[in-house]
Structure 1
Amino acid sequence: MAQPTPIRGLGPDSELGQAARRILAGRLADVRKPESKLNGTIDDDAVHDMRVATRRLRAALQVFRPLGGLTKLEHEVKRLQDALGDVRDLHVQALWLEDVAKKARREKPETRKGIAALGKARLTGLAPKEKRLRSELKRWSSRTLPRMLRKVDGLEDDHRFGGRRVKEPLHWRVRRVHKRMKVYMDAPDATSAHVLRKELKKLRYELEIFQPAFRRTLGALTEMLVPLQEGLGELHDADVRLEVFERLAAGGKPQERKAARALLPLIREGRAKRSAEIARELQRWHAEDIPRRLLQVLS
């Protein structure tokens, strides 16, 4: 995953308005970096990098929302993020099928043809998604970006960057993630995993924003979120895949049904492996008492 642009020269006593201007400018720069690779052919890596950058930008807009006038801009960024996500999700599934097709030499010729056909079907659905993405990119560059640059330049707030106004929402976010972890451990299904993943991403991006306002140990603790977040992301991909192929196995065309049924054991095996890895990572979280350590640093 692409790393955010480091924000230099901020500390706990910096004014919140100054911090907001500098952090939002950095997050905007991260969104713009992959843009040149999306002007012609849609580049897989650029889509992924820009999607992650829009998530970080939205997190910053939500954090600094109390400064005023950022809600509509955040909704505009979400439009772009959703369009990027639709393309990225199909890229992920198509790449998985491409990899499986290369390894399917032991399968019957008919099954191999079915797998190849499924891959082509995924790519066929990509064209309208890419068309929408190009439309949203045009809207972003011509409308949203100029408005955001004007708004960011005018943000003012003389509260402390490391003050109570910042700490209380972060405490709430840590406790919320901890609660979602317990829910997932009690019922580790696709829904609870997806909710935990979203909350964990929000916590990570918010901690990245406020890292300059706290002790250096916050950076090390933030990095400890990464394996769990990435594992939950892979689990989500497996859950999406499982839903799609179970549907094809039940009601697809004859060739699709055979291929989907041949792939379902592989998909379930992969999901079980990811689930076991996440269980081990959650055990580490509790053994090392990471939520309590985060709350201590944020005090």
Structure 2
Amino acid sequence: MQGLIDEVPRHVLRIQMRVYACRERLRVTTDDEALHDLRIALRQLRSLLRPLASVAVCDDLQQRAAELGRLTGPLRDLEVLQGYLQQQGLDGAAQSRQPLLQQGYLQLLDSAQLAQLLSALDDWPQQWRQVASSGQLRDLHKLIRQRLRKDRKRLAQALLDPAHDRHRLRLLVKRLRYAAEAYPPLVELSGRTRMQLKQAQSALGDWHDHWQWLLRAEVEADLQPCVPAWQAAMQGAEQQADLALQALTAGFARTSS
């Protein structure tokens, strides 16, 4: 038990250092992966803390990370779209979005959400030690296992829903997969199931990207030339996602029988 109590703050510290590094990379404005890496760090922090949501200091920090994640989501979507347009040789459409990206980076760096997360990360280790010394973490392994089992059950039930929502499934798949990365010994998932989660997430992510781009094309006229290719790509991604979800459903059925 003590090992896990000590490991969680070490993991938080490693993520905190990455968040600081990503902030500095964003200030340079020439690092195309800085925002992506920041969002990965936020995802890892939330995955680490979400199973500990009943511990107030963990829930507070997880909410700070979630707020920054919501702020950076649209900016990352724009960044991915702009990169796609460049790759396709649509220089005019790509260049017209560059000022919006730069403005978004500056707003992110000056945002209250980023400042509040960094401040919360500074205060969190002492808060964690206080909680640990009070005895509130005696059942830490049990607490995490219970939460992860709930995440798995929630996904398994959603997969069996004939009217399942791909948006919700994508979030549930991501949540379980990232929890498995945060707590490998405590997640009761086979290597095969973890691979199926990764494949489902990839297909659903591809579908989601094209779905979002098609929505943008309805109001951004310079994206209209891309619509036929995006429609075809989204249909292909839907098919891949359905196959991946079927495999995941079958995998869950085998392990629960």
Q: TM-score range by the shorter chain?
A: 0.7 to 0.9
Instruction: Give 2:55's aligned residue.
Output: 67
Question: Does residue 55 of structure 1 match 2:43?
Answer: yes
Instruction: Give 2:177's aligned residue.
Output: 204
Report the Cα offset of residue 197 of structure 1.
1.0
Alpha-carbon distance in 2 for matches of 1:196, 1:87: 23
Report the Cα offset of residue 42 of structure 1.
5.2
* SS of structure 2 residue aligned to 1:44: coil
Report the Cα offset of residue 265 of structure 1.
0.8
Question: Does residue 169 of structure 1 match 2:147?
Answer: yes
Alpha-carbon distance in 1 for matches of 2:157, 2:244: 16
User: Contact (CA 8 Å) 1:93, 1:122: kept in 2 or not?
Assistant: no
Instruction: Give 1:3's aligned residue.
Output: none
Instruction: Give 2:115's aligned residue.
Output: 139
Report the Cα offset of residue 140 of structure 1.
5.1
User: Contact (CA 8 Å) 2:81, 2:213: kept in 1 or not?
Assistant: yes
Deviations 1:114-146 (A, max 9, x none): x54332332232233112211138615762332
Aligned with residue 93 of structure 1, among 81, 91, 109: 81
Alpha-carbon distance in 2 for matches of 1:76, 1:166: 20
Change (3 A) 1:21 1:154: farther
Could you state the TM-score of these two structures normalised by the residue count of structure 2? 0.83
Indicate the structure whose relative CO is greater, using CA pairs within 8 Å and at least 6 residues apart. Answer: 1
Report the Cα offset of residue 202 of structure 1.
1.1
Instruction: Give 1:37's aligned residue.
Output: 25
Question: Does residue 122 of structure 1 match 2:97?
Answer: yes
Change (3 A) 1:243 1:67: same
* Larger gyration radius, structure 1 or structure 2: 1
Structure 1 unaligned regions, length at least 5: 1-12, 102-114
Report the Cα offset of residue 166 of structure 1.
2.7
Change (3 A) 1:89 1:275: same
Deviations 1:225-281 (A, max 9, x none): 111112111111101101111333xxx4xxx3xx61x32111101101111111121
Alpha-carbon distance in 1 for matches of 2:25, 2:103: 19
- Which residue identity does 1:194 align to in structure 2? H
Report the Cα offset of residue 15 of structure 1.
6.2
Change (3 A) 1:32 1:181: farther
- Which residue identity does 1:273 align to in structure 2? G
User: Contact (CA 8 Å) 2:48, 2:183: kept in 1 or not?
Assistant: no
- Which residue identity does 1:290 align to in structure 2? F
Aligned alpha-carbon RMSD (Å): 2.9
Could you state the TM-score of these two structures normalised by the residue count of structure 1? 0.73
Structure 2 unaligned regions, length at least 5: none
Change (3 A) 1:230 1:155: farther
User: Contact (CA 8 Å) 1:238, 1:270: kept in 2 or not?
Assistant: yes
Alpha-carbon distance in 1 for matches of 2:48, 2:64: 14
Aligned with residue 212 of structure 2, among 229, 237, 240: 240
Alpha-carbon distance in 1 for matches of 2:98, 2:75: 10
Alpha-carbon distance in 2 for matches of 1:218, 1:155: 33
Report the Cα offset of residue 76 of structure 1.
2.1
Between the two proteins, the alignment pairs up a number of residues equal to 253
Report the Cα offset of residue 90 of structure 1.
0.8
Instruction: Give 1:111's aligned residue.
Output: none
Instruction: Give 1:284's aligned residue.
Output: 247
Change (3 A) 1:132 1:153: farther
